[in-house]
Amino acid sequence: MIGILDYKMGNLGSVRNACATLGMEAQLLEQPEQLDQVDALLVPGQGAFRDCMGHLHELGWVDPLRDWVRADKPFFGICMGLQVLFEASEESPGVEGLGLLPGTVTRFADQEGLKVPQMGWNAVRWRGESPVYVPELNERQFYFVHSYHIPLTDAEWAAGITDFGGEYVSAVSFGRCHAVQFHPEKSQSDGLALLKAFADSLES
């Protein structure tokens, strides 16, 4: 059973529909006590970093999320569900993220001809090994909507790279924790293939 975190942020409808299309058994989680009912956790997200972390604190999810990932239980984050894994974001100075990965989420630099936010389709170059990122998806196009990004790094957890006025980290993977900056639930067949790979990895 996959739990979809409902913390009053994120595109829950599209995520639930994607899971249903793939035949993935899923349920919405509104309270941390429900975590013992699921085998994996899917965390979507949209909006501002401050609002996202505020909702997680208000609803009591911060420590349970940290404990879940640190226990190496299956996790898949989408968009803001990726950014909150880090220590902080330039979008919301003074607001702490979950701190599960080092670094600060930064705004795309102003460049001539570069329209921020990045909104639309862009390629992801996968690197390293992960049970989630299948070779057939390398350099395929996924749907992005965001103004802030993870700076490029050679860290082992940097699993996907995208170029938008310069390369940045668009996917991370460490242990059984995976997260992407784009929206697989809005990325047609390739996005569904990524979610299916995550579901399949739960059986291994």
CATH number of residue 97's parent domain = 3.40.50.880
DSSP alpha helices (H): ranges in the chain?
12-21, 49-58, 62-70, 80-83, 188-201
Q: At what angle do helices 62-70 and 49-58 cross, to 10 degrees?
A: 90
Which residues, including other chains, have CB under 8 Å from residue 106's CB and lie 6 or more apart?
89, 90, 148, 149, 150, 151
**Residues recognised as catalytic:** 79, 183, 185
Which of 64, 17, 23, 9 lies closest to 41 in space, CA to CA? 64
The whole-number mean pLDDT for each consecutive block of 10 residues of the chain, a chain of 204 residues, reads 88 86 91 95 91 95 97 96 97 97 96 91 88 82 96 95 96 95 94 92 81
Q: Return the biggest CA–CA distance within the chain.
A: 50
What is the model's pLDDT at position 121? 97
Question: Domain range holding 30?
Answer: 2-201
- Backbone phi, then psi, for 162, in 5-degree steps? -130, 150
What is the model's pLDDT at position 128? 74
Q: With 0-12 CB in 10 A as exposed, 13-18 as middle and 19+ as buried, what is 37? A: exposed
How far apart, in whole angstroms, are the C-alpha atoms of residue 184 and residue 10? 13
- To the question of pTM greater than 0.85 for the whole model, the response is yes
For the record, the structure tokens of 104 come out as: 């600060």
* Count of domains observed in the chain: 1
For the record, the structure tokens of 97 come out as: 């993220």
Which of 78, 7, 71, 86 lies closest to 39 in space, CA to CA? 71
DSSP state of 33: G
Contact 121, 188 (CB under 8 A): no
What is the model's pLDDT at position 204? 67
How far apart, in whole angstroms, are the C-alpha atoms of residue 64 and residue 75? 12
Residue 112 DSSP SS3: coil
What is the model's pLDDT at position 30? 93
